[in-house]
Amino acid sequence: MATYEEWYGMKVEEVANRVHSLNDSTIAQLIESVTIMIDSGHYPREAFPEVQFVGRLLSTLRVGQKNVAAN
């Protein structure tokens, strides 16, 4: 796994390619971990549109994961 500095220095396409290459269980863990970080953050979510966007994105991804697992 890349370090924070390596991820930060990557272009969006590089990050997307790396995430796409992860197996399903790793992606599920990533979604869960980021969700926990957002939910436990000490900041007013209303003041950070990026956090709201990521929260909605993760919620959508979790629903998609459940739908795929059910099939």
Residue 39's pLDDT is what?
78
Q: Do the domain assignments include residue 43? A: yes
> How confident is the model at residue 43, as a pLDDT?
67
Domain count, the chain: 1
Concatenated DSSP letters for 4-64?
HHHHHHS-HHHHHHHHHTS-HHHHHHHHHHHHHHHHT-SS-GGG-HHHHHHHHHHHHHHHH
Residue at 54 is within a domain: yes
Cα–Cα dist 71/42, whole Å: 37
Residue 60 covered by a domain: yes
Residue 12 lies in a domain: no
Task: Domain of residue 54: give its range.
Answer: 24-71
Q: What is the pLDDT along the chain (71 residues), one digit of tens a residue?
A: 667 788 778 888 888 888 888 888 888 888 888 888 777 877 666 767 777 788 788 888 777 666 555 55
Give the pLDDT of residue 45: 66
Residue 35 lies inside a defined structural domain of this protein: yes
Count the alpha carbons within 13 Å of 58 in the hemisphere toward its beta carbon: 19
Assess if residue 13 is contained within a domain: no
6 in any annotated domain: no
